[in-house]
Amino acid sequence: MPRAPHRAPPSASLPAPSEPEPPARPRERRQRVQSAATGMAVLKALARLGGQASLTALAAQVDESPAKVHRYLVSLVEEGLVVQQAGSQLYRLGLEALQIGLAAMRQADPIRAAEASLVRLRERLEVTCFVAVMGNKGPTIVRFEEPGLPVTVNVRVGSVLPLLWSATGRVFLGLLDAARVQGLAAEELAQATPEQRAQLDPRDPIGRLRETVRAGGCAAVRDTNLKGISAVAAPVFDCHGRLCAVMAALGATGGFDPALDGPIALALREEALAVSRELGYGGAAD
């Protein structure tokens, strides 16, 4: 008996081959990037307005229509980056934004943040520069950069500087209100030589020195801490506006300009402010 010819199953029963989704067109990609940029602009505007604002204020801040800003706020609310208060209808930063901010704060290290600035200062000005923090015994150098032809000084990483006689110490003295700092300064003053005392105001040596630093926003010394060495120092602030470190530059007095309005001081203050900004400081330049 002849066999029935073999027949292929109907094509309808075969699964259709899956086709890869076409890649996003350049125009679509640009639209997505623009949308993300606008959303981030709204979020940053909310932060600039203190973390809480009305729709009208946000729209004015980003120079967009309220209707457009509202659309982006809806998405930000869905992602937990923004919440809307039921009573006032104001928008404020949400829990997810808080978590991002806390993560950034944990990474805010003034020593790490100052590294690039120290290198730029060293190469741009060809001066020795360093960053110091307030340690148990006083201002302590934690990062040190030297130019190709370094100045011979007996300070290195780990060196503790005086509060009254170094530019770095004076910035800490002027901008920190801690009782421990005042106590260390009083001990230095009690042990000062007549020559050192002559450099300070006899009526209120520590108080007048603090006022001078606060008025100038930084400090400078010439042959005060080390003979033949001049230095300038500028503050680094954290996200709360508190002094967390001091950046300083020093050099041989004959070829180093310690004037507070001189090129070295201006460059140093510019870099110190840049480091402060990286740490979240939102205040104005001194």
Q: What is the pLDDT of residues 141-171, one digit of tens each?
A: 999 898 876 666 777 888 999 999 999 999 9
What integer is the mean pLDDT of 168-194? 92
Are the C-beta atoms of 209 and 170 separated by less than 8 Å? yes
Q: For residue 12, give the DSSP letter.
A: G
List the Cα angle 98/100/104 in 5-degree steps. 115
Most confident of 21-35, 97-111, 204-218: 204-218
Structure tokens at 170: 């004076």
Q: How far apart (Å, rounded) are the C-alpha atoms in residues 164 and 225?
A: 9
Name the phi and psi angles at 221, rounded to 5. Answer: -135, 155
Return all residues near 231 (Cβ < 8 A) that are at least 6 apart. Answer: 166, 167, 168, 220, 221, 225, 248, 249, 250, 251, 256, 258
Q: How far apart (Å, rounded) are the C-alpha atoms in residues 234 and 113?
A: 15
E strands present in 14-138: 52-53, 82-84, 91-93, 128-134
Q: How far apart (Å, rounded) are the C-alpha atoms in residues 15 and 13?
A: 6
Structure tokens at 69: 């800003």
What residues are paired with 247 via a beta bridge?
Answer: 131, 234
Structure tokens at 75: 């998405």
Quote the pLDDT of residue 1: 47
Q: How far apart (Å, rounded) are the C-alpha atoms in residues 252 and 261?
A: 18
Report the Cα–Cα distance between both ends of the chain, in Å, rounded.
105
User: In terms of C-beta density within 10 A (0-12 exposed, 13-18 middle, 19 or more buried), how is residue 264 classed?
Assistant: buried
pTM of the model: 0.68
What domains lie within the chain, and their CATH numbers?
26-105 (1.10.10.10), 108-278 (3.30.450.40)
What residues are paired with 235 via a beta bridge?
Answer: 246
Which residue in 142, 135, 219, 205 sits closest to 175, CA to CA? 219
Q: How far apart (Å, rounded) are the C-alpha atoms in residues 60 and 87?
A: 22
Mean pLDDT of the chain: 85
Most confident of 80-84, 152-156, 168-172, 174-178: 168-172
Q: What is the pLDDT of residues 31-78, one digit of tens each?
A: 666 778 888 898 888 888 888 889 999 999 989 999 999 998 998 988
